[in-house]
């Protein structure tokens, strides 16, 4: 008998919740149907939240000045319908850091009212500081303008840039010498590379093309044109690819047709981090070079938060540091040793390292 009572209470609770949600949806639908699109006014907020910064996970409270018949809030592709309230906590709709566009639509007396706002959601964590500990140092071709790097089956694969100089190479780690080397079209500037399903993906800077090769033979299998303005770095995350374009935005890509599946922005506890470059993904953490800086970021891909910063300035000064273009760029990971390989554009050295807290 007690079990039956508990089941009855649970069923009744679920039914009431479902009924309330249905009523809210019906109210919003009816208000929309009654509203005249020619009678649009400003949706009045109590506080101007435009361009304000909020911390991810904390309350993002928004209040409006009037009690509307119904309100619909859109943000980051998600919506929330409300009836009989004059506030909302947006934190339940925002999972990642970034610059968030908000549209709020209210209906009252068969009239429609709209406001659009933008807020920044910054990281809730202060990045931990790291430094590289050098395990081994190898020769790296100082003529290679390194744009992409990954480790596979005992070798380092490297993509280089510059118009007329861009290559794809399979290098012996200890000697730094190429075992295979392939030039790409002289009117294209090579950028990041990654390995997915036995194939190498090599993106280009402004040509909007990705070249796909067999990892064993270097045979070019196909080339895909893509809509993204620029390509900088690329890496593989499970069954997807992730692309950087020199901004704070990272785009999640379908490896089959290179279409966009999702995107998010990288923020630390102060704001956005622009100029994200070469990428490497390891066990839930995305490692990213930042153009013109001697650091590597550690990024939580689930939140967009910068959780760590690796200071590589001691290595940068050892490698052609007199040229402003010859910056740190290139991260590869060996899962068998848990060691990383890092280098830079036209650097003379390739470093095998582990990262330690400062």
Mean pLDDT, rounded, for 187-201: 95
| Distance separating alpha carbons of residues 324 and 172, to the nearest angstrom | 28
Q: List residues bridging with 61 in a β-sheet.
A: 89
Q: For position 84, what pLDDT does the model report? A: 82
Q: Which residue has the higher pLDDT, 127 or 89?
A: 127
List pLDDT tens digits, range 124-143. Answer: 999 999 999 999 999 999 99
| Distance separating alpha carbons of residues 21 and 68, to the nearest angstrom | 17
Q: Is the pLDDT of residue 2 over 90?
A: no
Q: For position 293, what pLDDT does the model report? A: 93
Mean pLDDT, rounded, for 228-234: 93
Domains, the chain, with CATH or none: 35-122 (2.60.40.10), 128-357 (2.120.10.30)
Q: For position 339, what pLDDT does the model report? A: 97
Q: For position 33, what pLDDT does the model report? A: 42
Q: For position 53, what pLDDT does the model report? A: 85
Answer yes or no: are the C-beta atoms of 307 and 300 closer than 8 Å.
Answer: yes
Q: For position 15, what pLDDT does the model report? A: 45
List pLDDT tens digits, range 308-354. Answer: 999 999 998 888 667 788 899 999 999 999 999 999 999 999 999 99
Mean pLDDT, rounded, for 138-150: 95
Q: Give the count of beta carbons closer than 10 Å to the beta carbon of residue 278.
A: 32
pTM: 0.84
Radius of gyration, CA atoms only, the chain: 25
Please write down the HEC assignment for all residues of the chain. CHHHHHHHHHHHHHHHHHHHHHHHHHHHHHHHHHCEEEEEEECCECCCCCCCEEECCCCCEEEECCCCCEEEEEECCEEEEECCCCEEEHHHCCCCCEEEEEEEEEEECCEEEEEEEEEEEECCCCCEEEEEEEEEEEECCCCCCEEEEEEECCEEEEEECCCCCCEEEEECCCCCCEEEEEECCCCCCEEEEEEECCEEEEEECCCCEEEEEECCCCCEEEEEECCCCCCCEEEEECCEEEEECCCCEEEEECCCCCCEEEEEECECCCCECCCEEEEEEECCEEEEEECCCCEEEEEECCCCEEEEEEECHHHHCCCCCCCCCCCEEEEEEECCCCEEEEEECCCCEEEEEEEEEC
Average pLDDT, the chain: 86
Q: For position 46, what pLDDT does the model report? A: 63
Q: For position 48, what pLDDT does the model report? A: 64
| Distance separating alpha carbons of residues 235 and 154, to the nearest angstrom | 18
* Percent of the chain residues past pLDDT 70, beyond the cut: 85
Residues 6+ apart with CB under 8 A from 20: none
């Amino acid at each position: 008998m007690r079990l039956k009572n508990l089941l009855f209470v649970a069923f009744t609770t679920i039914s009431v919740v479902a009924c309330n949600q249905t009523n809210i949806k019906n109210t919003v639908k009816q208000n929309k149907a009654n509203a005249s699109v020619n009678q649009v006014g400003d949706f009045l907020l109590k506080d101007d939240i435009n361009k304000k910064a909020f911390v991810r996970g904390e309350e993002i409270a928004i209040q409006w000045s009037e009690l509307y018949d119904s309100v619909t809030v859109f943000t980051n592709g998600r919506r929330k319908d409300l009836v009989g309230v004059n506030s909302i906590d947006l934190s339940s709709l925002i999972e990642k850091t970034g610059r968030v566009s908000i549209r709020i639509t209210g209906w009252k007396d068969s009239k429609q009212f709209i406001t659009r706002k933008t807020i920044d959601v910054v990281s809730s964590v202060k990045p931990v500081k790291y430094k590289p500990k050098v395990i081994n140092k190898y020769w790296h071709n100082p003529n290679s303008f390194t744009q992409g790097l990954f480790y596979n089956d005992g070798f380092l694969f490297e993509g280089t840039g510059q118009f007329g100089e861009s290559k794809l190479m399979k290098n012996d780690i200890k000697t730094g010498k190429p075992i295979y080397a392939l030039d790409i079209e002289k009117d294209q500037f090579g950028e990041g590379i990654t390995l997915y399903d036995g194939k190498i993906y090599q993106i280009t800077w402004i040509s909007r093309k990705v070249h796909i090769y067999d990892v064993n033979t270097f045979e070019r299998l196909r080339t895909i044109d893509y809509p993204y303005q620029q390509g900088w770095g690329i890496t593989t995350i499970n069954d997807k690819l992730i692309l950087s374009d020199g901004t704070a935005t990272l785009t999640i890509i379908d490896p089959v047709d290179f279409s966009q599946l999702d995107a998010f922005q990288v923020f630390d506890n102060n704001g956005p981090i622009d100029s994200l470059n070469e990428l490497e993904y390891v066990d839930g953490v995305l490692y990213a070079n930042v153009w013109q800086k001697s650091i590597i970021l550690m990024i939580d891909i689930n939140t967009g938060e910068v959780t760590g910063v690796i200071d590589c300035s001691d290595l940068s000064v050892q490698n052609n540091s007199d040229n402003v273009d010859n910056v740190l760029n290139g991260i590869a990971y060996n899962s068998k040793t848990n060691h990383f390989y890092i280098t830079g554009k036209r650097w003379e050295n390739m470093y095998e390292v582990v990262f330690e807290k400062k």
